[in-house]
Amino acid sequence: MFDKILIANRGEIACRVIRTAKRLGIRTVAVYSEADANAMHVAMADEAFLIGPAPAADSYLRTDAILDAIARSGAQAVHPGYGFMSENAGFAESCAQAGVTFIGPPVEAIRAMGSKSESKRLMDAAGVPLVPGYHGAKQSVGELTAEAARIGYPVLVKASAGGGGKGMRVVTEESGLAEAIASAKREAKAAFGDDSLLLESYLAKPRHVEIQVFADTQGNAVYLFERDCSIQRRHQKVIEEAPAPALSDHVRRAMGEAAVAAAQAVNYVGAGTVEFLYQDGRFFFIEMNTRLQVEHPVTEMITGLDLVEWQLLVASGKPLPLEQEQLTRHGHAFEARLYAEDPSRDFLPAIGRLTHLEPPVENRHVRVDTGVRQGDEVSMFYDPMIAKLIVWDEDRDAALRRLRRALADYHVAGVTTNIGFLGAIAGHAAFAAGEIDTGFIERHRADLLPPPVPVPALGLAFAALALLLWRDEEAARAATRSGDPHSPWHQTNGWRLNDDNHHDFRFMDGAESCPVTVHFVRDGWRLDLPGGPLSARRATLAGRTLTAEIGGERRTATVVQSGLDITVLHDGQTWRIKLDDPSAKAADRDAGDGRLAAPMPGTVVQVLVKPGDTVTGGQPLIVVEAMKMEHTIKAPADGTVAEILYRVGDPVAEGADLLVFEAAQ
Kindly list the catalytic residues: 291
The answer to whether 505 touches 467, Cβ cutoff 8 Å, is yes
CA dihedral 585, 586, 592, 593 (to 10 degrees): -140
Strand runs labelled E in 530-601: 532-542, 545-550, 553-562, 565-570, 573-579, 595-597
Strand pairing class (133-134; 524-529): unpaired
How far the first Cα of the chain sits from its last, in Å, is 74
**How many whole angstroms separate alpha carbon 309 and alpha carbon 390?**
19
**How many whole angstroms separate alpha carbon 39 and alpha carbon 121?**
42
* Amino acid letter, residue 83: G
**How many whole angstroms separate alpha carbon 439 and alpha carbon 9?**
32
Strand runs labelled E in 408-501: 411-413
**Strand (E) or helix (H) holding 303:** helix 296-303
The answer to whether 28 touches 55, Cβ cutoff 8 Å, is no
The answer to whether 112 touches 122, Cβ cutoff 8 Å, is yes
Backbone phi, psi, residue 71, to 5°: -65, -45
- Residue 23's Cβ-count burial label (10 Å; 0-12, 13-18, 19+) is exposed
**How many whole angstroms separate alpha carbon 100 and alpha carbon 197?**
33
Question: How many CA atoms lie less than 13 Å away from 430 in the CB half-sphere?
Answer: 15
**How many whole angstroms separate alpha carbon 248 and alpha carbon 569?**
41
Identify which of 127, 151, 128 has the alpha carbon closest to the alpha carbon of residue 136.
151
Backbone phi, psi, residue 592, to 5°: -100, 30
Identify which of 170, 231, 171 has the alpha carbon closest to the alpha carbon of residue 442.
231
Q: Residue 321 has what DSSP assignment?
A: S
The answer to whether 35 touches 52, Cβ cutoff 8 Å, is no
Identify which of 608, 607, 565, 612 has the alpha carbon closest to the alpha carbon of residue 584.
565
Strand pairing class (77-79; 101-102): parallel
Identify which of 119, 114, 124, 310 has the alpha carbon closest to the alpha carbon of residue 212.
310
**Long-range CB pairs of 87-95, under 8 A, 24+ apart, other chains included:** 87/113, 87/114, 87/163, 87/289, 87/290, 87/291, 88/63, 89/114, 90/63, 91/8, 91/63, 91/66, 94/63, 94/67, 95/67, 95/70
Strand runs labelled E in 563-638: 565-570, 573-579, 595-597, 602-607, 614-615, 620-626, 629-634
Identify which of 290, 279, 207 has the alpha carbon closest to the alpha carbon of residue 241.
207
